[in-house]
Amino acid sequence: MTDPDFPHRRANAVDVRRTNVGSAGRAGPGTAPDDLTSISPPCPPKVTAVDTQKSQDEFVSLLASITTQLMSYIRILTFNNREDTEEVFQRTCLILWQKFDQYDQNGNFGGWACRMAYYEVLKHRDARRKIKLLSDSAIESLADAAMPIAEQWSHRRHALSDCIETLETNQAEIIKQRYFEGKKVKEIAQGHARSTHSIYRELSRVHGMLMRCVELRLQEGLS
């Protein structure tokens, strides 16, 4: 049934709203403004695909620069357990990406990453419920001591990589097959049509060359 008073009530409601609006168009006390967007919370800055890609690229670049240091640090805290190291490393990388917006761009990314890894090691220990050979406070002390060691290993690893680049092609191939591909000396000798004795001598000679090269580069880095 149609309400005969409906038009009259609607007109009154409109009149009341108009009397409460100032000359500038703003709502008076106790009324809602005409434009409801004026009281809506400000929208957050729009994140574009370009911004996201830029963030990802920056993160990948920073992570690649400290991967050796981070892995060395985690390896120390997990007592060189390969499985634990890999698991903690993967979890740490995920946490680093999730919290990347909290990272101070002027800070030390390696130090920040290692600190996140330390907390992941503690979580991993609790989750595994292993017999704790060391208390949490002892692990923290170990973590503090591990930082400079991990940095040193990182520098040494980078120096070694640079030194391998200076080897002759044949020497670099033998090193790659022996230490990166895990081939036995006998297999390498057969592949190069050489005796196992000559391959052992080659490895020994290259070891000496790489050791001297690494030490020289580290000294140059300190000077």
Confidence of residue 133 (pLDDT cuts 50, 70, 90): low
Q: In this predicted structure, which of 30-34, 48-52, 61-65, 152-156 has the lowest mean pLDDT?
A: 30-34
Whole-number Å distance between alpha carbons of 184 and 205: 18
Helix (H) or strand (E) holding 95: helix 82-98
Whole-number Å distance between alpha carbons of 182 and 185: 9
Q: What is the pLDDT of residue 48?
A: 59
| pLDDT exceeds cutoff 70 at 140 | yes
**What share of residues in the chain are helix, strand, coil (percent, to 5)?**
75, 0, 25
- The answer to whether residues 60 and 74 touch, using CB atoms and an 8 Å cutoff, is no
Closest by Cα among 93, 55, 54 to 74: 93
Whole-number Å distance between alpha carbons of 148 and 170: 35
Q: What is the pLDDT of residue 51?
A: 64
Confidence of residue 146 (pLDDT cuts 50, 70, 90): confident
- The answer to whether residues 61 and 55 touch, using CB atoms and an 8 Å cutoff, is no
